[in-house]
Amino acid sequence: MIILGIETSCDETAISIINSEKNGEKTLIKVLGNQLFSQIAIHAQYGGVFPMMAKRSHAENMIPLFLECLKEAKLFYEEEKELSEEKKSTIKTILEREFELAEKLLDLAKDISTPKIDAIAVTQGPGLEPALWVGLNFAKAISYLWNIPLIPTNHMEGHIFAGLMKKVNNDYEIITPEMPTIALLISGGHTQLVLSKSLQEYEVIGETRDDAVGEAFDKVARIIGLPYPGGPQISKLADKERTESGLNAEKKWNLPRPMIHSKDLDFSFSGLKTSVLYTVKKIPELTEKIKQEIAREFEDAVVEVLSSKTRSAVEQFGAKTLVLGGGVSANKEIRTKLAKLAEEINVTFFVPEISASTDNSLMIAVAGLFNYSNQKPYFGEILKADGNLKLN
Ligand code: KG4
Ligand code: ZN
């Protein structure tokens, strides 16, 4: 089965084409095309993602990326054809709010043959709604245009699948984890512990009550004067500090470990961020060295809380597998410490390769593949982007 995956939930426009094959119990994935445009440079000047600018950039880049992806996958063939007035007008209606994208798509559609794709998986949510709509409406439009089944997909389920993609040469094998599984999902918008008693059955057993981990990283970075997105920057500084001062250096700054002793599996990171702010306010001169020390203490605090809650979740539900996912799973210290924890408590540990940790469309194509049953091409029914789409 050939699946097109489309992801536009935040500041990455991503399109992939995969070919999946069943080999007995095994699912093998060949990546035929994989294109991603990061909007970091656009948002960096404002210190965060502006939803309406993200939307505009997704709409501008969608067709060029799609075309590039088709070419890469060798699914691009020129063929001149007439589109009926009815088709043209329906596409304009579907892409009513992305008017220029409609024009570009109609322009493209009259010059290429119908791509040999079996299904289109697209992120429906959660994420920034204006951004999500672009991907979803584009997916609806090409689903209708070429009569290809459409699979609305949950971004967080995508992050879980990212952890289950094992690289074999240039392809991937999808791991079937031993159940129950606990997934720790940490991204810019989410911090969740998810229990699965069987494949694709999800129960959120803990989540943040305020800021997500990635959000806290980004805000702390801003407080100490680092550019957006701050997560990787904080991580770099913290690493530098560990190398320079050693693992047992005396602590100069003490940040709280919020909710580490609470009985539930919830998190809170907004107080931790505020603590950094108050700490920094009291320092007359914020030197590079002090920034490093604070970055390290902040990262240590996050790692301790994440580890402690994950340990409780695994023990409470007798989990056999731990999956780490979401953009913050690119963080070296978090990967290392959670791998260590998994070893200690005797669960199998899976984490995406760094490039698949942050938002991408491969994970959406794979999640779509597992959600495909007998989806139909889009035909005008109501299908909305949902910024708060739940996992279930
Ligand atoms: O999953 P993701 O790409 O987008 C959302 O779905 O939110 O996650 C993005 C988040 C950002 O907050 C970014 O700062 C953070 O992941 N992030 C990191 C690292 N790489 C990305 N945080 C800490 N350390 C990193 N190395
Ligand atoms: Zn994400």
pLDDT at 141: 98
Which residue CA neighbors atom 22 of ligand 1 most closely?
Answer: 231
Ligand nearest to the CA of 187: 1
Query: And the tokens for 354?
Result: 């760094």
User: Over the stretch 169-181, which tens digit does the pLDDT of each residue have?
Assistant: 989 999 999 999 9
59 C-beta closer than 6 A to ligand 1: no
Q: What percent of the chain has pLDDT over 70?
A: 100
Block residue for tokens 């445009």:
37
Burial of 316 per CB tally in 10 Å (0-12, 13-18, 19+):
middle
Ligand 1, closest atom to CA 332?
Answer: 26
CA of 190 to the centre of ligand 2 (A): 8
> Mutate which of 187, 215, 338 to test ligand 1's pocket (most atoms within 8 Å of Cβ)?
187
pLDDT at 308: 98
pLDDT at 348: 98
CA of 297 to the centre of ligand 2 (A): 25
158 C-beta closer than 6 A to ligand 1: no
Rounded-to-integer distance, Cα 303 and Cα 102, Å: 45
352 C-beta closer than 6 A to ligand 1: no
User: Over the stretch 40-78, which tens digit does the pLDDT of each residue have?
Assistant: 999 988 888 999 999 999 999 999 999 999 999 999 999
pLDDT at 158: 98
Nearest to 353 by CA among 369, 320, 329, 322: 329
CA of 7 to the centre of ligand 2 (A): 10
Give 318-376 as a DSSP string: T-SEEEEESGGGG-HHHHHHHHHHHHHTT-EEE---HHHHSS-SHHHHHHHHHH-SS--
181 C-beta closer than 6 A to ligand 1: no
User: Over the stretch 114-158, which tens digit does the pLDDT of each residue have?
Assistant: 999 999 999 999 999 999 999 999 999 999 999 999 999 999 999
238 C-beta closer than 6 A to ligand 1: no
Rounded-to-integer distance, Cα 58 and Cα 98, Å: 10
218 C-beta closer than 6 A to ligand 1: yes
pTM of the model: 0.97
pLDDT at 392: 80
When pLDDT is cut at 50, 70 and 90, the band that residue 22 belongs to is confident
CA of 390 to the centre of ligand 1 (A): 20
User: Over the stretch 182-234, which tens digit does the pLDDT of each residue have?
Assistant: 999 999 999 999 999 999 999 999 999 999 999 999 999 999 999 888 999 99
189 C-beta closer than 6 A to ligand 1: yes
DSSP structure class, residue 49:
-
Rounded-to-integer distance, Cα 227 and Cα 354, Å: 20
Above 90 in pLDDT, residue 101?
A: yes
Among 34-38, 249-253, 301-305, where is mean pLDDT lowest?
A: 249-253
Ligand 1, closest atom to CA 12?
Answer: 3
Query: And the tokens for 151?
Result: 């699979």
State residue 270 phi and psi, 5-degree precision. -70, -35
Rounded-to-integer distance, Cα 63 and Cα 69, Å: 10
Ligand nearest to the CA of 40: 1
When pLDDT is cut at 50, 70 and 90, the band that residue 247 belongs to is confident
Average of pLDDT values for 258-275? 98
Would you call 8 helix, strand, or coil by DSSP?
coil
326 C-beta closer than 6 A to ligand 1: yes
Average of pLDDT values for 270-292? 97
Cβ–Cβ under 8 Å, residues 149 and 120: yes
pLDDT at 25: 84
Q: What is the chain's mean pLDDT, rounded?
A: 96
Above 90 in pLDDT, residue 248?
A: no
Q: What percent of the chain has pLDDT over 90?
A: 94
User: Over the stretch 306-332, which tens digit does the pLDDT of each residue have?
Assistant: 999 999 999 999 999 999 999 999 999
Rounded-to-integer distance, Cα 382 and Cα 94, Å: 11
pLDDT at 46: 86
Average of pLDDT values for 349-367? 97
pLDDT at 24: 86
Cβ–Cβ under 8 Å, residues 376 and 155: no
CA of 41 to the centre of ligand 1 (A): 15
When pLDDT is cut at 50, 70 and 90, the band that residue 265 belongs to is very high
